[in-house]
């Protein structure tokens, strides 16, 4: 949490002192010794004074839920939440915020409680600020000069988080539902780390250093620390050093700035930082992969994650579990036609059609956001190898499902992959946006991208670029759905299903199912024989 001055924070008799960074004060309290399967209401006290819940709060008490390993699990997830509706007032350009609506439904008791809320990128929009944030920025600097009304430094990022998570519904939701998060490009800037050319262009500005250090330092504090277990927190060197600095009465900003510089340098072959993480919930393993900051983009080589991080990811796959959920802000499996276009663009930029086409391809890459897994073919194939190895039992008994949970693309869909030799069912589950929209022409493109005629057309592009066909096929089971969405993945032993929920305006905003898709069924039989890939 963030407090307005240095203090001691007390939750259920577990205490922590605040850490000062950039003039702001943060506390992280680890609460231990809770009973499995319990619901524990709590209060927050600052130097002994009650600070939470707020007086006359309309919400139920904030509680900590500790699930039992064998109980059913429910994961709510989505991505892309533009500024809270409160920041726009009655002039909000979007449909009802799915996260606000979900929070109100939970408070009213009309929705079943999730065990985890996963936010898969673009939790804040540093490059598309609200009128309220622009007004605040204008009190600090001239917004007629770059970066104009975009966020420029750590102080402006803290305002962005206050605006987004100070929303009363979301503030209460995050106080009572466990959360997991990972960034995407708009948490820093559109097309963040798209290519080496993009990085050079940003580095040449006089404002980028403040933007990237402020973005990564604020992400570390507001989002990433909450992803870590108590044991991982105890071993986290930057947080431990920040605590020491604050204990001596100093501000830890210089430490966090240096940390952010090193983390950003990974794309240039520098030391970097591992933002990816793993959490286990009973017999469900969740592996969240950083697909933005950990990219390698030097010397014409493009990889979604660095070699050390690939090695770490492989280590996390070993074990005996019923379901593997892989969080990736960017979808692994896109509509086939869009996949082919992005793959062709990568070959074009690499020079398959000569230097002049390479230059055009780079402009197109940045203009059309062609930087998903499909646009990094080596990484796409390496990811496929990981999925195949897990699904055929190389790392342990094959799980019932391998699901890639993603956002980014401002629509929702469910797709199933057909991979030869794999016993597990493999799915791409995409849900986005939570609070944003998508232009009409893009809706047409995403819808047409799943059609056979579009795939046949774009296949000609890949043939011309001398690109081999992927070693798998995939087909859509549901979608695409447009509008503000939040998905819920339910797991009961080896059975699972996903529900895509859409927010609707009305006298009272409502979150209603757009589709429910069964993914696997519970049984006590041995794993099914491997299925052949469809031709």
Residues 375 and 370: their CA atoms lie apart, in Å, by 6
**Who contacts 533 (Cβ-Cβ below 8 Å, separation ≥6)?**
418, 419, 420, 472, 473
Distances (CA, A) of 301 to 294, 365, 383: 13, 16, 17
CB 285 within 8 A of CB 323: yes
* Residues contacting 293, CB < 8 A, separation 6+: 183, 193, 216, 263, 264, 266, 267, 272, 273, 275
Beta-carbon contacts of 239 under 8 Å, excluding residues fewer than 6 positions away, are: 19, 28, 225, 233
Give backbone dihedrals phi and psi of 497, rounded to 5 degrees, phi first: -155, 155
Q: Strand 116-119 and strand 179-181: pairing?
A: parallel
Residue 406 to residues 77, 120, 291, 412, 415: CA-CA distances in angstroms?
9, 6, 11, 9, 12
- Locate tokens 């001239």: which residue? 142
The 10s digit of each residue's pLDDT in 121-156 is 999 999 999 999 999 999 999 999 999 999 999 999
| Dist CA 119 CA 85 (whole Å) | 18
Q: Which pLDDT does position 71 carry in this prediction? A: 82
pLDDT in tens, 489-532: 999 999 999 999 999 987 788 899 999 999 998 764 444 444 44
Q: Work out the widest C-alpha separation in the chain, in whole angstroms.
A: 70
Tell me whether the omega of the peptide bond preceding residue 314 falls within 30 degrees of 0, making it cis: no
Angle of helix 154-165 versus helix 208-222 axis, rounded to 10? 40
In the chain, the N- to C-terminal Cα span, in Å, equals 52
Residue with tokens 């020491």: 244
Read off the tokens for 438: 């998508």
Nearest CA-CA partner of 292 in 191, 406, 217: 191
Chain-centroid distance, C-alpha 112: 23
Specify the pLDDT at position 270.
Answer: 87
What is residue 88's predicted lDDT score, i.e. its pLDDT? 76
Beta strands in 335-435 (DSSP E): 401-406, 412-418, 425-430
CB 58 within 8 A of CB 32: no
What DSSP character marks residue 34? Answer: P
Residue keyed to tokens 């990564």: 216
Asked if 253 contacts 245 with a C-beta cutoff of 8 angstroms, the reply is no
Token pair belonging to 152: 């420029």
Alpha helices in 326-451 (DSSP H): 336-349, 355-367, 377-391, 440-448
CA distance 156 to 134: 10
Interhelix angle for 307-316 vs 377-391, to 10°? Answer: 20
Give the model confidence (pLDDT) of 211-224 as tens digits.
999 999 999 999 99
- Exposed, middle or buried: residue 440 (CB in 10 Å: 0-12, 13-18, 19+)? exposed
CA distance 272 to 293: 8
Whether 111 contacts 181, CB under 8 Å: no
pLDDT of residue 90: 61
What pLDDT is recorded for position 93? 74
What is the predicted pLDDT for the residue at 523?
60
How far is CA 331 from each of CA 160, 338, 532, rounded to the nearest angstrom? 26, 12, 24
**DSSP sequence for 234-283:** HT-HHHHHHHHHHHTT---HHHHHHHHHHHHGGGGTS------EEEEETT
C-alpha 12/C-alpha 220 separation (Å) is 25
Low-confidence spans in the chain with pLDDT less than 70: 89-91, 299, 523-535
Structure confidence at residue 531 (pLDDT): 44
| d(C-alpha 443, C-alpha 439), whole Å | 7
> Can you tell me whether residue 344 is helix, strand or coil?
helix
Residue 160 pLDDT: 96
């Amino acid at each position: 949490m963030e407090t307005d001055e240095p203090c001691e924070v007390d939750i259920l008799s577990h205490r922590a002192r605040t850490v000062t960074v950039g003039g702001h004060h943060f506390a992280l309290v680890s609460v231990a010794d809770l009973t499995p399967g319990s619901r524990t209401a709590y209060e927050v006290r600052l130097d002994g004074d009650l600070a939470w819940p707020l007086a006359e709060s309309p919400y139920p008490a904030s509680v900590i839920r500790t699930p039992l390993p064998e109980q059913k699990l429910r994961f709510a997830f989505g991505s892309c939440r533009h500024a809270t509706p409160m920041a726009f007032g009655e002039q909000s350009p979007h449909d009802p915020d799915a996260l606000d609506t979900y929070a109100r439904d939970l408070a009213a008791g009309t929705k079943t409680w999730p065990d985890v809320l996963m936010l898969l990128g673009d939790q804040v929009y540093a490059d598309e600020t609200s009128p309220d944030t622009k007004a605040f920025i204008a009190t600090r600097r001239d917004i007629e000069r770059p970066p104009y009304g975009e966020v420029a430094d750590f102080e402006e990022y803290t305002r962005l988080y206050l605006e987004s998570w100070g929303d009363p519904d979301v503030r209460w939701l995050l106080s009572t539902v466990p959360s997991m998060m990972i960034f995407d490009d708009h948490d820093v800037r559109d097309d963040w780390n798209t290519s080496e050319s993009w990085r050079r262009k940003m580095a040449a500005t006089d404002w980028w250093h403040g933007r990237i250090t402020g973005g990564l330092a604020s992400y570390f504090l507001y989002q990433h620390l909450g992803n870590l277990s108590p044991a991982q927190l105890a071993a986290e060197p930057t947080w431990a050093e920040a605590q020491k600095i604050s204990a001596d009465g100093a501000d830890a900003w210089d430490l966090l700035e240096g940390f952010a510089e090193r983390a950003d340098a990974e794309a240039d072959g520098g030391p970097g930082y591992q933002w990816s993480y793993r959490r286990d919930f009973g017999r469900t393993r969740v592996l969240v992969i950083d697909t933005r900051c950990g990219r390698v983009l030097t010397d014409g080589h493009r990889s979604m994650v660095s070699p050390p991080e690939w090695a770490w990811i492989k280590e996390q796959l070993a074990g005996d579990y019923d379901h593997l959920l892989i969080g990736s802000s960017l979808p692994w499996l896109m509509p086939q036609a869009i996949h082919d276009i992005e793959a062709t663009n990568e070959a074009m930029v690499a020079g398959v059609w000569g230097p002049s086409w390479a230059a055009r391809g780079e402009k197109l890459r940045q203009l059309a956001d062609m930087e998903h897994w499909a646009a990094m073919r080596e990484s796409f194939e390496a990811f496929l190898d990981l999925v195949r190895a897990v699904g055929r039992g190389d790392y342990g008994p094959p799980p019932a499902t391998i699901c890639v949970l993603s956002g980014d693309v401002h629509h929702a869909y469910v797709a199933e992959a057909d991979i030869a030799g794999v016993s597990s069912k493999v799915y791409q589950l995409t849900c986005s946006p939570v609070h944003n929209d998508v232009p009409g022409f893009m809706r047409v493109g995403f819808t047409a991208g799943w059609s056979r005629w579009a795939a046949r057309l774009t296949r000609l592009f890949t043939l011309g670029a001398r690109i081999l066909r992927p070693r798998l096929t995939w087909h859509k089971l549901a979608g695409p759905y447009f509008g503000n969405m939040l998905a819920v993945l339910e797991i009961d032993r080896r059975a699972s299903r996903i529900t895509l929920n859409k927010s609707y305006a009305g006298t009272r905003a409502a979150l209603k199912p757009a589709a429910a898709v069964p993914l696997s069924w519970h049984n006590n039989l041995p794993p099914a024989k491997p299925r052949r890939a469809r031709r």
